Structure 1
Amino acid sequence: MGYIAYFNVVKSRDIIRSPYNARQDSYAKRVVRGKILDKNGNVLAQTNVAEDGSETREYPYGSMFAHVVGYSVQGKSGLESVENFELLTSNAFFLEKLKNEFQDKKNIGDNVVTTLDANLQEAAYDALGNYKGAVVALEPSTGKILAMVSKPDFDPNSVADNWESLNSSEDSVLLNRATQGQYAPGSTFKVVTALEYMREHSDYENYSYNCTGAIEHGGLTIHCFNNHVHGQVDFADSIAYSCNASFSNIGLSLDVGKFRDTAKELLFDSKLPSELPYSKSRFTLKKGASDGEKMMTAMGQGQTQVSPYHMALITSAIANGGTLMKPYLVQAVTNYGGTVVDENKPEKAGTLMTSGEAAKLKEYMTDVVQYGTASVLSGQGYTAAGKTGTAEYSSDKEKDHSWFIGMTNVDNPDLVISVIIEASDGSAKAVNVAKQVFDAYYNQ
């Protein structure tokens, strides 16, 4: 009996949500699929019913929410898949449902009210422009995901017509790069390396290194960006200037086993709290690694792979005093009349670091904005902190992705962001995308 109850309450939802469940059709025969709304009630997806009873799923914002909201033909993706049970369940008034049964009419499905903000989503979408990449923005104090953009995109209104080309696209158009993309983190990973160095060296504030624009060790030469000579730098300067030579030097001093433990605590090689499908991030450095591997890993190259979503979670924990709030996309489920059926509340996902460690990293990330590589964010109507990154992805080291992770209102953070621009090759900077999103947030 216990298993039957568990199946009916829990597993039935999982099965109905599955895009491969043929029984979905039987639910759709009795219920008009509900709407998906943004936090302010803007319609992101709805079913239009013609006079002849035929139904068409409409996405008023076109490709803007393509990956996060998803599509509902040729299988399902995004929230259309995750919330399939709710959208095909009707909590309309009992007598109304009874009347519909007698008249052989469909009931109207429940609405899914998301945490997404259409204005912020539009700002992120426009800021990314024609570049491939992703943007994730969330509230660190609650875990509410306010924006999630992935490009290249597609129009969910025409998925059925274009399925063959979408499914065979060399650009992996259907891939949600925000949660499923895997990239070298570049210098954004230096916040992880910095945390490990702080844990291993209590005197980290006394750190000093003379940067000559490059470091040579064991036959390997690692250059600072554009061979820039940073001169004498302390720990804060090393982060603010994103000094590759200094961080390579730091990497040589780290205990690989302890470094792996810290990466694990930050959810590398681990399950992530996520409502949408995602790819696990990878930290591959192991005991016995060469000095070259240590140096490359410490500065964010090497074999480390991470998603923009995961970097947003790490940044969120830093912003929130070390505590990661469980990220979520669904604020509530209501019946079609607006009566709340179910509601999500903020909850703690875990502690990734101590409050003291988070405060120190936040301080160093503030330096990045005040006098370092993200100075474009200084002097705004809001305070900001962050970390830029450039991740090489070609064997000739001539091509790179641009990264930025950061937060606003540093003393009591309002917003956290993670941005990647693929193949920016120096022509675009992720920090500028972040700035446009930050500006939109405070100008609403």
Structure 2
Amino acid sequence: MMADSSEVINNTYNTRQDLLAERIIRGNIYGNDYEVLAETVTNKDGTESRRYPYDSLFVHIVGQFSQGKTGIELSENFPLLTSNTNAFSQFLEDIAGDKIAGDNVVTTLDVSLQQIAADALGDRKGAVVVLEPDTGKILAMVSKPDYNPNTVSEKWEELKEDVQNESALMNRAAQGLYPPGSTFKLVTALEYMREYGDYSKYEYNCEGLDDFSGIKIRCYNEKHHGMVDLKLSLAKSCNTSFANIGSKLDLKSFRNTCNSLLFNTKLPTSIVTNRSHFVLDEHSDEEEVPQTAIGQGKTQITPLHNAMIVAAIANGGNLMRPYVVDRVETSKKKIVKKNVPSIYGALMTAEEAQVLTEYMQAVVEEGTAAELKNSKYTAAGKTGSAEYNSSKSSHAWFVGFAPAEDPKIVVSVIVEGAGTGSQYAVPIAKQLFEQYLT
């Protein structure tokens, strides 16, 4: 590799950056409609500073500059410190003693969706991810709590000290690890479908409480769902039924399916992420199985990863690589580099994706996401209430897409410690669907 490569220059500690900054004005970062998300301004004393017009709104995905670069400010550091304007223009600026305008980064981020996601989440901790299933374009990524990148230097010590409590510096959307709760039932259902060709004949009589390998599993409020098939089990988010399903699975195969869905591996994206965890295997204790099958136990997932699994379902089984940089342009809007959608691979067959889509539509039509029913669009989704401590406090989840018959938008929402997904996460998704589709 050449010592002059962008990977080396992008290193925070490389002095080449300083040399480039002396000659080039750091480029702007734009939204998908050329809204300025980050820009360099020259102060009265001739010094330069980075300005973020939307304050905290994009801080976790766009990043910040002054206290160790993060987000796009870090991943696109080299392009932002490079100028591809024509040589003659650069010559004239050099002669005049002026600095050269660096290249600009145009993102896939939709300002209106980002604002709605942030407003809907409000002051609650959590995260929202919005993407296009057929391209992988990330349209919005919100993490709360947040902070203002314009004042990060003044607040830095306070932010660092608070990292154990609020963790405002962490991008929860890509790095936060949570029990998936009932959203994981999509994975359990997929595994059951793969192992049992007659899955449509599955039946279970839910009485609200059942015992599996000495572990008592309860449905929410011990509700009796009665006789359910696989579709209705998902629609009603029946814990006892899915614990029963888990008891019938081959655990080695289950782990292989989870690994193929990108658990325990790096996600195919340039965004800094944490790896989701699935630890169940053929050597695990029996009592771990029912909890894992309903999305509890030791399983952990990031909101971005959850969005990607659902995006594959929405896209006929194929996962597109998520990306947030659409293109790099000169200051005159000449395209230097254009990112195009690229397929990662098939996470499931088209037939499996179609069945899961039908089941997720049932969640809306006759199940726990009924608030999305009777909208101007059709929706498919899965709610979740993920217990995370001994007092049974729950994170509220929703993952889904719309329109169900021709998916344009995927949403992943988690609200920390809120309660049920149907009450706290679904309304956020509904606002995003309505903004984008109506």
Comparing 43-52 and 322-331, the one that deviates more: 43-52
Aligned to 2:86: 93
Give the Cα separation in 1 of the matches to 2:13 and 2:245: 49
Alpha-carbon displacement from aligned partner over 1:268-322 (angstroms, at most 9, x marks no partner): 0112012111000000002132222110100000100100000000000000000
Match of 2:125 among 106, 111, 132: 132
Match of 1:109 among 90, 102, 106: 102
Aligned to 1:415: 409
Contact between 1:139 and 1:415, CA under 8 Å: does it hold in 2?
yes
Contact between 1:318 and 1:358, CA under 8 Å: does it hold in 2?
yes
The aligned runs of 1:17-416 (5 Å cut-off) are 17-169=10-162, 170-397=165-392, 399-416=393-410
Give the Cα separation in 2 of the matches to 1:425 and 1:19: 41
TM-score, normalised to structure 2, is 0.97
Cα root mean square deviation, aligned: 1.2
Contact between 1:127 and 1:437, CA under 8 Å: does it hold in 2?
no
Comparing 33-42 and 160-169, the one that deviates more: 160-169
Give the Cα separation in 1 of the matches to 2:239 and 2:173: 26
Q: Report the secondary structure of 1:29's partner residue.
A: helix
* 1:426 CA displacement: 4.7
Give the Cα separation in 2 of the matches to 1:33 and 1:267: 36
Paired residue type of 2:299 = T
Aligned to 1:14: 7
Contact between 2:31 and 2:110, CA under 8 Å: does it hold in 1?
yes
Q: Report the secondary structure of 1:407's partner residue.
A: strand
Contact between 2:212 and 2:244, CA under 8 Å: does it hold in 1?
no
Q: Report the secondary structure of 2:58's partner residue.
A: helix
Q: Percent identity?
A: 50
Alpha-carbon displacement from aligned partner over 1:241-270 (angstroms, at most 9, x marks no partner): 000000000000000000001001100011
Q: 1:141 to 1:426 in 2, by over 3 A?
A: closer
Contact between 1:20 and 1:75, CA under 8 Å: does it hold in 2?
no
* 1:51 CA displacement: 4.4
Paired residue type of 1:201 = Y
Give the Cα separation in 1 of the matches to 2:410 and 2:79: 29
Contact between 1:125 and 1:149, CA under 8 Å: does it hold in 2?
yes
Comparing 100-109 and 14-23, the one that deviates more: 14-23
Q: How many residue pairs end up in the alignment? A: 435
Give the Cα separation in 2 of the matches to 1:217 and 1:117: 46
Contact between 2:266 and 2:274, CA under 8 Å: does it hold in 1?
no
Alpha-carbon displacement from aligned partner over 1:169-192 (angstroms, at most 9, x marks no partner): 121110000000000000000000
Give the Cα separation in 2 of the matches to 1:138 and 1:33: 28
TM-score, normalised to structure 1, is 0.96
- In structure 1, runs of 5+ residues without a counterpart are none
